[in-house]
Each structure stands twice: as C-alpha cells, then as structure tokens.
Structure 1
Amino acid sequence: MARLPPPPPLPERSSLALDPAYEAAATAWLSARRGKAVWSGPPPIARMIENLIPPDQRKGGMTVKELQSRWRDVVGEKLACICQPDAIKGETLVVRVVAAAAPLLAMRTNEIVGLVRLAGASRIRKLSLVRGPLLSRAQAKSARTQRKLTATEQRKLDEQLEQVSQPGLKAALARLAEATAHLD
C-alpha cells in the first residue's frame, strides 16, 4: 500500500489575515440571504393524537376489561378455564388462577405473556399469578352488559336464519346475534 505524502504545512498566522473589502462583501451577501423561514414540516402524528387516546391505553393497547372479554380467544379454551386476568399494574398482568393450576401456569408464563402481547397489550412484560377463586360464568356474564333482542330484531333474525339449513350453525349465529346486540 502506497503512503500518501504528508499534508502541506499551514501558512503563518500573518498570511491568514482577511481583506476588509472581501469581509464587507461577504457580510452584505449573507445579510441579503439570511432570515428566510425554515419550514420544519408537520408535527409528528403521535403528538397530534396524544390527547385523543385515554392515558391507560397510550402505551400498550388493551385495558383489563378488553382483555377479560377476549381472554378465551387470547389464551385458548383450556387455559381460560383455569385462569382469568385480574388487573394490569404497570408492565405486569395480574392473573387470578385456580390454586391447583398455578404450577402449570408458572411454567407457561412466557407463552401467556407472548399471547397477550400478540393480542394487543404490548406493554405487558411480566405475569403475576394470584391464587383464588375465579368468577363463575354467571358472574362473568352479568359483568358484561348484554341486552336482549327486541321483538322486531328477533323476527328479523329469524327471517335471516331461515335460509340456514344446519341447526348447529343456526344456533351459533343466533348466539352471536344475541351476544353482539349491545354493540348497536
């Protein structure tokens, strides 16, 4: 590899003195071009919508109530029978668990945290198990706000379900309509 020659020596301090005429010309040129407004672009969208999102949902998505309503979908039927989300404290999801199943859940904490984060609660990093009785299905149903279908809604649903020939599918669609009636 060839070596480069050393840089030329710096000139003496006396030769660096500036010419007053050039100095005045440069000052005039700069003063004519300064003061133009700089446009920084639009503000970040996160700052614009910050006040539209409730504080508990700003960092991490789901609230406890949303997680409780979707728990069976998030962790599956088997795990949902033995545990329920109880609270979110910072980055920790507190899960109420049947005492006998606590060791099983302790082994699967990383999997459950991953499923919860995948479902939309991205701020959850840890799982805390609390042994205790679970809410029964009747208590859980009463906790949710469901309303019954009105007579006209029931007639309309029956008319729509006449075309369905499979009884299992018809029953499932009827349950779905009743469960989502409160969303209207």
Structure 2
Amino acid sequence: MRGTDRRCAAVDCPEAAESGAPAPLCAAHSALVAEWAQGEAGTTDVLPSPCLVCGSRTGVRYPGGWVCAVCEWRHGEVPDGDLAPPRVDVVYYIRFDDRIKIGTTANPRQRLGRLWHDQLLAFERGGRAVEQRRHAQFARYRFDRTEWFRVDDELEHHIRIVANGEPDAWAVYARWTSEALALRG
C-alpha cells in the first residue's frame, strides 16, 4: 500500500487509492476507467491522412476506427461520386485594387474563377437575401449600381468579423460543404 489511508473504491480491491486522483481508485482501476472512457468519447488526434470530404487533418480515434473531427466522416470511407455536391449559398467578399465586391453564389470556385480579383477576403453563409442586406448596409460606399464598394474601415471591420479569424476562406467553405453533406445522411 502507498502512503494514503484511502482504499480503492472498486469492489474487493485491497489497493490504496491514488493520491490526487479525481476518484478514489488505485492505479490499475484508474487505467481501466481511462481506457473505457477513450472507447466511449474517443481521443482527438491527427488523422492518418486528410479527410476525403472536408480535408481536415483532425480526427477522433475510437476503438473501431477514426472519424473526422470536423465533418464526422468515417476515415477510410470513400464519398459516393454519384452524389451531387450539396448546395451551400455564400456571400463572397473579394478585393480588386482599391475596391471590394460583395456578391453571392452557390458555386464559388466557378464564380470566382471568372472574376478578376486580387484577394478573396471572406465567405459569409447566405444567399441573395444576405447579399442584398449587405448592399444596403454599405450603400454609402457603393459605386453606382454595381456590386463594387469603396474600401472603408466599416466594411473592412465587417469582413474581419465575417472571417472570424480564419485566414483561409476556402477552409470555411469546405467545412460548410462537409456539414451539409453530413446532414444529408
């Protein structure tokens, strides 16, 4: 027995409880509980390879295998190529020279591939209604009746809030797409 006067709470265990442990269990029973908890809750770790759905490298390891920590896709399963990708409408913010464009699309790779721009600033989830609200919100900076706006501190502040500290807008879009795919079932 170690230098503690508490006994292990496991039935018929003669060992002393580990000092400082959150529950009065001996080392062997503590290890059993930890192993059981890992099987129930999983262990967050780096996936063996990127998730095929969202590209995340973070996963949760269970005794039966891995799942992506972002979209919960089972690691190793191949997405059905026959399924159409889920529709995720976004409002995009792009910069070209000294202007910012606020537009919307359900296919940002295709749309942004056709637009001259220097930088993709952010994506905001939403369609035409959100785009129209943003156009009205920043109307005083708008160039005529276009979707282009003068760079202003208020608009840049809004874009920083929308980006939410994520420097890669494509990673955000990939997460939204994978979430939509996961909700599809």
TM-score (norm 2): 0.23
Bigger Rg, structure 1 or 2: 1
